[in-house]
Amino acid sequence: MERIILFIILIALGYVAGRVAEKKHYSSIREREKNLIHVPAHNLKNPSETDRQVLKSELAVGQIVVSQDYFKRFLAILRGIVGGTMISYESLVDRGRRDAVLRMKESCSDADEFINLRIQTSVIGNNGTSKNGLGSIEVLAYSTAVYYEGR
């Protein structure tokens, strides 16, 4: 009986707090994306403005670890039974990737362009609470920041 109560409490807590956290995270991501939209980031090998001299270039890295809430993890287990797309997990990786790219841009805030962007994701352990679902993911975004001459 106690275990069931604990389980329900965890689900409820996960649902309420998880929703609030996700909303907050998304609004912060949108805000920052708006501020940085003028700096292009792409995965081409060369700077796009070929007529301008490159002043310098450096490596830019952004990293984040995000985890899923208890409620969504429970949903995912149910989803695993019937199959289909796991929308609850799509939002997790989406948040992670967008934030990692933003952090990368913020680490070199004066750069004019980010070229050869790479994003990689890795699972870093399921922290006890679930046996089969993924607990948290690490997203690493890196690229070359290019500074043009005569800005």
Partner 1 sequence: MTNIEHVPGREIIEHYGIVTGSTVQAKHIGKDFMAALKNIVGGELKAYTELLNDARDTSIQRMLAQAEGLGADAIVNVRFATSSIASGASELYVYGTAVKLK
Please give the residue ranges that form the binding site for partner 1 (CB under 8 A): 10, 13-14, 17-18, 21-22, 25, 45-47, 53-55, 57-59, 61, 63-70, 72, 92, 99, 115-116, 118, 120, 122, 124-125, 127-129, 135-136, 138, 140, 142-144, 146
Q: In the complex with partner 1, which residue's Cβ is closer, 64 or 101?
A: 64
**At its nearest, how many Å lie between partner 1 and the CB of residue 16?**
8
Q: In the complex with partner 1, which residue's Cβ is closer, 36 or 130?
A: 130
Q: In the complex with partner 1, which residue's Cβ is closer, 99 or 101?
A: 99
Q: How far apart are CA 116 and CA 8, in angstroms?
A: 46
**At its nearest, how many Å lie between partner 1 and the CB of residue 86?**
15
- The three-state secondary structure class of 49 is coil
Q: Which two tokens stand for residue 79?
A: 């989803």
Q: In the complex with partner 1, which residue's Cβ is closer, 17 or 80?
A: 17
Q: How far apart are CA 136 and CA 107, in angstroms?
A: 23
Q: Which two tokens stand for residue 32?
A: 């920052």
**At its nearest, how many Å lie between partner 1 and the CB of residue 108?**
12
Q: Smallest Cα–Cα separation from 14: which of 65, 92, 73?
A: 73
**At its nearest, how many Å lie between partner 1 and the CB of residue 15?**
9
Q: Which two tokens stand for residue 34?
A: 């708006």
Instruction: Name the DSSP letter for residue 69.
Output: -
Residue keyed to tokens 């070929």? 50
